[in-house]
Amino acid sequence: MKEYIRAYPLFSLCGLNCGLCPRYHTEGESKCPGCGGPAFHWKHPSCAVITCSRKHGGVEHCCQCNAFPCPRYEKPGNADSFISYRNVLPDLRRVRQEGLDAYREALDEKVAILRKLLEAYNDGRRKSFYCNAVNLLPLQILKEVMAAIPGEMKEGLDAKDKANRVAALFEAKAKASHIDLKLRK
């Protein structure tokens, strides 16, 4: 695939939130630059969605295509990869309805929350959990969890205890909202 560059690689052409993916927040060879980010074409040498976009006028996101939602979105898959695909169609519809700027603002806020979680409450084993939780939970719930975290942090807690307490907050909010935070295999 020839070079593919996009102005905002955190939200993919197909609707994935690349900025909330564990591979985006990885250091080293396996780091993904996000959809259309630097050297994307080397990390992802073939992408059917990019090919489709080129055939449909080079839209920046599938929701901007006249054929949206096409058969690709009629039957969402039942499995996830590094990031959940559950929000793809609702997120693309949101972009179509509210506009890309509003969606980007909310996604940027989610990415900032994720970075705080990874910096302060990752015991080395929670990156995928935090990425999935931030991706799947609505922004308002994420803000509620972030506001509740300081009350859970007692002096003398080690990284594992802190991570366990934060994860428990996310699990409780997700359960109350009937959202499963596990990736579908």
Residue 164's Cβ-side half-sphere holds a number of Cα atoms within 13 Å equal to 6
Supply 74's token pair: 């009629």
- pLDDT > 60? residue 121: yes
Q: Is the pTM of this model over 0.85?
A: yes
Question: What pLDDT score does 1 carry?
Answer: 56
Question: What pLDDT score does 148 carry?
Answer: 97
Confidence of residue 91 (pLDDT cuts 50, 70, 90): very high
| Residue ranges of domains in the chain | 18-176
The CA angle 45-47-50, to the nearest 5 degrees, is 120
Confidence of residue 77 (pLDDT cuts 50, 70, 90): confident
Among 12, 84, 75, residue whose Cα is nearest residue 48: 12
| Contact residues for 183 (Cβ-Cβ < 8 A; gap 6+) | 80, 84, 128, 132
What is the percentage of the chain residues whose pLDDT exceeds 70? 99
| Residue positions counted in the chain | 185
| Contact residues for 130 (Cβ-Cβ < 8 A; gap 6+) | 114, 117, 118, 121, 122, 170
CA distance 99 to 17: 16
CB 102 within 8 A of CB 140: no
Report pLDDT digits (tens) over 143-167. Answer: 999 999 999 999 999 999 999 999 9
Question: What pLDDT score does 44 carry?
Answer: 78
The owner of tokens 């839209």 is 59
